[in-house]
Amino acid sequence: MSRISGRLLRRLGRRTGTPATPEAADPAGTGAETAVPPHTVREDFPHRHLLRSSEAPDSPVRDLVHDLPADPRRPVVVVDVPPAAAGNLGEELGALLARLREDAPLAVRLVLSGAGAAPGGGTPLAQRLAEAWELTIEAPDAPAVLTPGGLLHVAEPATPGGGWWRFAPGTAPEPLGIRLPAPRWQRALARVPLGPIGACVARPVPAGLLLSPAGAAAPLPDEAAYAVAVHPERLSVLLGAPRAEPVPADDLATLLAGLPAESRRTVRLVPVDGRDPVGLAESVCDLLGTEIEVALGLPLPATGDEDGAETVRLVSIEGEFTWPALLTALVCSPTGIDGSRPAPRPVSWDLPASAGTSEGEPPASLRLPSGARAVAVRSGLWCGAAPEPPAEAGNRPADARALRVELDADCLADPAARDRHLRDLAALLADLPPAARTHAELAAPEQADPALITELRRFAIRTGLALATPSHPGRGGTTGTAGTAGTTGPAGTTGTAGTAGTAGTAGSARSASTTNTAGPAGPTGTAPEAKVGMTAPLAGSGVTAGVTKGVQAEARLTGLMTPAIPATPAKPSDALSPATPTAAVAPSIPAAPVS
């Protein structure tokens, strides 16, 4: 990192006004317009600030900074400036620090990768800034990632126990951990040994830990493992990797047994490999003799005005997001002493409240105005006259390619009642988020006669559903069979996401949803809109390594993300992105104004 000359310190110390915009030179005095060279400009949002290139007015980082949580006690400064525009970066940063110092914040969070590192044993840039401006500054010692939801993460700290550091004038740097703000469970994880566990490797990720096969590469920040919502009170253990072998139950049991007791009691399992997780979870329950909560997809953080809720999205084995789960979490139990296993217990679901009533109904179900029940199940939605679906429907694993809407024969037998049930079902489907409707597939009863098939076909056309006929009840099986840990389904393979998996197809927020109050899982919320996910400023060649775009389908996976993480033993060096950090060049340190 560059050191500043005394002359530059004095020059910056005298300046008190707003930084001037570089003017184009016209040495001939002709008045002709010449190209203005790229330079650093500043954009201010309440308690959030972006330093970017003048040539990137529509920088994707701009929207991400705007969406960050605003905390007047800890303003955030994000630096996204390529080398060509860094000539006046020191002046802009100095002016901003002067302005922030007047507000007496608890700390300024500087999102400039490597600003907390000590180059060659020297003084970190963040420490020098803290001393010069008499501010407390929090900065990373390595490439930093801003995850969906606003948590700041350092995947590979420069030193053991490092990551984010707090620098205050006249005091030694204080390590803050790899996540900022620190979840309650972060300190407990410091005692958990990571690395090889059987045939797998345990790695830290923003939401907690990732257990994936040893042959799988470490996840990149634009992949599903970095999209999972970070719960401030509950540790998440992510399972698997796209296109990788399944996680063995023994390895997962070993990892969970090594967690501190408090974290283990509230842990939730989150599949990121596209496989149905219930069979694996039940096998681990037997190995540990305890209940375990499992998410039936990826919990994604709330955005905009969703009031802290999460939405759970299924992911294919290729790592692509598909439909939002209606049944979002289950608690699995070990086999009892009599050899029987209790059915998984719903603890979280997401059904549109406007479609019916949940009062007095079993978990994860609604009574429709027609008297039929609509029940959220792993595979999608079951509709019938009975209070609960049959075991075959209730235990069917999800297929990431299709949200299965299953109609029970009992509610279709009487033509008059059938019309009422179908009308109410259509109203319920209309209240689902667009991604759910796009992936919805109507499954006719196995014994449906031709006349009923004709009517259901017309209903599917009117409501925009695909129709699975009795001879083709699904689209090729599931990605994991219930009761078998980590195995793939016997019929077919999971395909890629459909049109709802492309950016920009998700619709607006929907009506209020019913949620449960049982169990530790938080409430589910409205479906997020699609948005383009981003990569984050990173201390690479020049001031930052630049910002690249990564499309995240349907999940509004907004967040500053690094385009690559440094190699790990499980990730060969030849797999590194060209944007991997090289020699970092930091802005010249601005001095405090001369009194």
The per-residue pLDDT for range 148-190, each reduced to its tens digit, is 888 899 989 998 889 999 999 999 999 999 999 999 999 988 8
Residue 115 structure tokens: 């600003």
Q: Which of 582, 564, 585 is nearest to 112 (CA)?
A: 585
Phi then psi for residue 50, to 5 deg, are: -125, 130
Tell me how far CA of residue 148 lies from CA of 75, 241, 445, 506, 532, in angstroms.
18, 19, 41, 17, 12
- Strand ranges across the sheet with 48-53: 40-45, 48-53, 76-80, 108-111, 137-140, 164-167, 174-177
Note whether 209 and 238 are within 8 A (CB).
yes
Q: Is residue 592 part of a domain?
A: no
- 71 or 503: which leads in pLDDT: 71
Q: Which of 99, 176, 96, 190 is nearest to 139 (CA)?
A: 176
Report the alpha-carbon distance of residue 467 to residue 256 in Å, rounded. 42
CB atoms within 10 A of CB 459: 20
Query: Alpha carbon 474 to chain centroid distance?
Result: 29
Q: Given pLDDT bands bounded at 50, 70 and 90, which one contains residue 470?
A: low
Residue 161: its pLDDT value, please? 87
Residue 411: its pLDDT value, please? 84
Report the alpha-carbon distance of residue 192 to residue 106 in Å, rounded. 31
Residue 46: its pLDDT value, please? 94
Report the alpha-carbon distance of residue 11 to residue 14 in Å, rounded. 5
pLDDT in tens, 85-101: 999 999 999 999 999 99
509, β-bridge pairs: none
Residue 562: its pLDDT value, please? 28
Q: Is the pLDDT of residue 50 over 90?
A: yes
In 271-315, alpha helices (H) = 278-288
Q: Is residue 444 classed exposed, middle or buried when 0-12, 13-18 and 19+ CB atoms within 10 A define those classes?
A: buried
Which range (14-23, 243-252, 353-362, 481-490) has the least confidence?
Answer: 481-490
Q: Is residue 30 part of a domain?
A: no
Tell me how far CA of residue 587 lies from CA of 36, 40, 56, 98, in angstroms.
21, 11, 19, 16
Report the alpha-carbon distance of residue 477 to residue 479 in Å, rounded. 7
Q: Is residue 314 part of a domain?
A: yes
Report the alpha-carbon distance of residue 453 to residue 238 in Å, rounded. 41
Total residue length of the chain? 595
Q: Is residue 72 part of a domain?
A: no
Report the alpha-carbon distance of residue 373 to residue 363 in Å, rounded. 12
Note whether 397 and 278 are within 8 A (CB).
yes
Report the alpha-carbon distance of residue 84 to residue 88 in Å, rounded. 10
Which range (108-112, 518-522, 549-553) has the least confidence?
Answer: 549-553
Q: Which residues contact 22 (CB under 8 A, 6 or more apart)?
A: 36, 37, 39, 87, 88
Residue 587: its pLDDT value, please? 43
First to last CA, the chain: 28
- Mapping DSSP to helix (H, G, I), strand (E, B) and coil, where does residue 297 land? coil
Report the alpha-carbon distance of residue 590 to residue 417 in Å, rounded. 76
Q: Is residue 33 classed exposed, middle or buried when 0-12, 13-18 and 19+ CB atoms within 10 A define those classes?
A: exposed
Residue 401: its pLDDT value, please? 92
- Mapping DSSP to helix (H, G, I), strand (E, B) and coil, where does residue 26 land? coil
Q: Is the pLDDT of residue 229 over 70?
A: yes
Q: Is residue 567 part of a domain?
A: no
Report the alpha-carbon distance of residue 586 to residue 373 in Å, rounded. 62
Report the alpha-carbon distance of residue 428 to residue 504 in Å, rounded. 24
27, β-bridge pairs: none
Q: Is residue 432 part of a domain?
A: yes
Report the alpha-carbon distance of residue 166 to residue 164 in Å, rounded. 7
Calculate the average pLDDT of the chain. Answer: 77
Q: What letter represents residue 50's amino acid?
A: L
Cite the beta strand spans of 436-507 per DSSP E.
Answer: 440-443, 466-468
Note whether 80 and 544 are within 8 A (CB).
yes
Range of the domain at 475: 223-514
Q: Which residues contact 35 (CB under 8 A, 6 or more apart)?
A: 24
* Mean pLDDT value of segment 223-232: 92
Residue 29: its pLDDT value, please? 56
Residue 86 structure tokens: 């860094």
Q: What is the pTM of this model?
A: 0.74
| Total domain count, the chain | 1
Report the alpha-carbon distance of residue 584 to residue 586 in Å, rounded. 6
* Mean pLDDT value of segment 206-230: 93
Residue 384: its pLDDT value, please? 92
pLDDT in tens, 480-504: 433 333 333 333 333 322 222 222 2
Q: Is residue 463 part of a domain?
A: yes
Q: Is residue 586 part of a domain?
A: no
